[in-house]
Structure 1
């Protein structure tokens, strides 16, 4: 089968490897569509395990069912989660599924940028979801990133009527904007350094878009009746954005760290301000199976307009271009790879 082997952001090669053989309890899935995630181009992180087949936002069709699998059949249209929790450890039992050691170590074989993938038994048990008829293979690639956003807003306890500030209007920021709008947020303000993405932020629900190099707290007050934000969501790893977040959160508010920085970065936190003003600083990583279920329903019900976020559809042979588009982060929103797509399609 054909696969895309990642060496670095500028070197993603079309190669061949044997189609995986499945064991009892496993599935073989023909990948139909696979999204390129912003984390796929975090070179400092990905290059540690290169060369490897990346890709974790996939939809496809089951083509082989292992002995003992009863919930799924050949021909089922599915989304497959690459990371799944054990559901029995201390962290899972306390609701912190994304802190589970098993979630951090599970994956499918070899990765989403391949024509076929083997779904291990535990992923079959906890990470395979049937696509509703209303959800296309294309739209289904948003299930994983939207599920992460669902979890982020859930743990941050977003409430209707709140003022939301989203720092960074890439795909994660745009999904946060669209979901916050669907959940009844009040005023939504977005930032970015790119005009293309600022325009996209307003298209998908932001009331105000601010260039990130401006005085964001001051502009926020101007747009929000002299108040700061109830919830600040940091969707970029740029350190200035984290500093802006700490300056832009209102008393009693929350800063949600949704994106990692490069390694070795420390954030200076004004502890006394947080203590006196009852400010909450919290992270959100990944998603749980429940969040995936919610994301599927949001897409099925058209509550989040994910289809409009697709800007590029590429063949597997063009995946190098896709990585460049996502890494450049200038004039793309969501780049997806369609396995059956021809180069000239």
Structure 2
């Protein structure tokens, strides 16, 4: 009897696990512009993990690169992969040693799991960890799924007045926060932003939150510039894609700023945008490269170095979620206007959402509501 009862219990548990696995679906990237919703079997819940039902997920530019080309910079998709990493959800289960979170908590997820053992991790620069496992960055599966398992210490509880969509926006917001920290933006820093795409617009909002008194933003697209103006840019400047126009445009940008440009953020990463940023920035200033459109660039580094213009780079972010949540909670940053399109989690709408995001145009942040 006892043996039979034990076997029955095991059968029930196995059946329950099977049902859950059947229920959990994810958007798998199978090839160029080929996404399919298929079952996603989760790893077992570790003692320090939580299981999260994903409720909101935004499409990032890197997701679009993977979707269109099966690669982003040096990251190449070599086998089917669950896509997505900008996410928030509700905790469904907690590991045995998790004390900080409870079932039902609404959380924003930081998507990268570092090794915590290498020198970079020990120094606190864990975003540069060579063993980083990052949602939706090959070969690690992402989070456009009904449920995911994630370390509890990378799940941040959301205040009641911060929505799940806003929680998902903590990820792109973190890029702007990390960039503004690296560039030391403050109340005496005049800021130039090259590119009014999602990250450029976020960098505008974060620069303001850090106290930048004057922000000028530059783009080739009038629609994006109009959005930037509505979000609080002091001046917007339409530029061409022709590198021959740089000298003339630099004068226009400097006149629009009205005083020296202390920090320029290149949120694009082309020869022309970086050349413009280097030439427009005043002597002793900084240029921060955020956008990584090209793996190599030809830029006037020598004259910039002779003027002590520092060039700094950023890779993702570190220790940013608490500040992002504070900015959202207090209303110091409002990300809601950036969410332009919303889709549900169905085969048809997943395809539509990625085509919409890849098409650019008036799409800024495309968001899934699961």
TM-score by length of 1: 0.89
The question of whether the paired residues in 1 share the 8 Å contact of 2:209 and 2:332 is answered with yes
The question of whether the paired residues in 1 share the 8 Å contact of 2:135 and 2:143 is answered with no
Q: Tell me the distance in 2 between the aligned counterparts of 1:50 and 1:191.
A: 38
Match of 2:55 among 32, 36, 40: 32
Match of 2:186 among 151, 159, 166: 159
- Quote how far apart the aligned CAs of 1:2 are: 2.2
Structure 2 SS opposite 1:251: coil
* Equivalent position of 2:161 in the other structure: 134
Q: Report which stretch shifted further, 1-10 or 22-31.
A: 1-10
- Quote how far apart the aligned CAs of 1:67 are: 2.4
Match of 2:252 among 216, 219, 222: 219
The structure 1 segments of at least 4 consecutive aligned residues displaced by more than 6 Å after TM superposition are none
* Equivalent position of 2:21 in the other structure: none
* Equivalent position of 2:272 in the other structure: 240
* Equivalent position of 1:343 in the other structure: none
Structure 2 spans left out of the alignment, 5+ residues:
1-23
The question of whether the paired residues in 1 share the 8 Å contact of 2:271 and 2:299 is answered with no
**Aligned 1:56-205 pairs, distance under 5 A:** 56-87=85-116, 89-102=118-131, 104-107=132-135, 110-119=141-150, 123-124=151-152, 126-205=153-232
Deviations 1:283-340 (A, max 9, x none): 0111112x1111111111111110121101101221222212222221111111011x
Q: Tell me the distance in 2 between the aligned counterparts of 1:303 and 1:326.
A: 27
- Quote how far apart the aligned CAs of 1:208 are: 1.1
- Quote how far apart the aligned CAs of 1:91 are: 2.1
Rg larger in structure: 2
Q: Tell me the distance in 1 between the aligned counterparts of 2:119 and 2:25.
A: 40
Q: Tell me the distance in 2 between the aligned counterparts of 1:22 and 1:76.
A: 17
* Equivalent position of 1:287 in the other structure: 317
Q: Tell me the distance in 2 between the aligned counterparts of 1:18 and 1:48.
A: 19
Larger relative contact order (CA 8 Å, sep ≥ 6): 1
TM-score by length of 2: 0.83
Q: How many residues align?
A: 330
Distance 1:309 1:193, change over 3 A: same
The question of whether the paired residues in 2 share the 8 Å contact of 1:147 and 1:292 is answered with yes
- Quote how far apart the aligned CAs of 1:176 are: 0.7
Deviations 1:204-242 (A, max 9, x none): 1211111231643121122123x4521110111333211
Q: Report which stretch shifted further, 66-75 or 54-63.
A: 66-75
Q: Say what the alpha-carbon RMSD is for the aligned residues.
A: 2.1
Distance 1:312 1:106, change over 3 A: closer
Q: Tell me the distance in 1 between the aligned counterparts of 2:164 and 2:158.
A: 8
Distance 1:31 1:247, change over 3 A: same
- Quote how far apart the aligned CAs of 1:181 are: 1.6
Distance 1:50 1:207, change over 3 A: farther
- Quote how far apart the aligned CAs of 1:106 are: 4.9
- Quote how far apart the aligned CAs of 1:90 are: 2.4
The question of whether the paired residues in 1 share the 8 Å contact of 2:45 and 2:95 is answered with yes
Structure 1 spans left out of the alignment, 5+ residues:
340-345
* Equivalent position of 2:289 in the other structure: 257
The question of whether the paired residues in 2 share the 8 Å contact of 1:151 and 1:284 is answered with yes
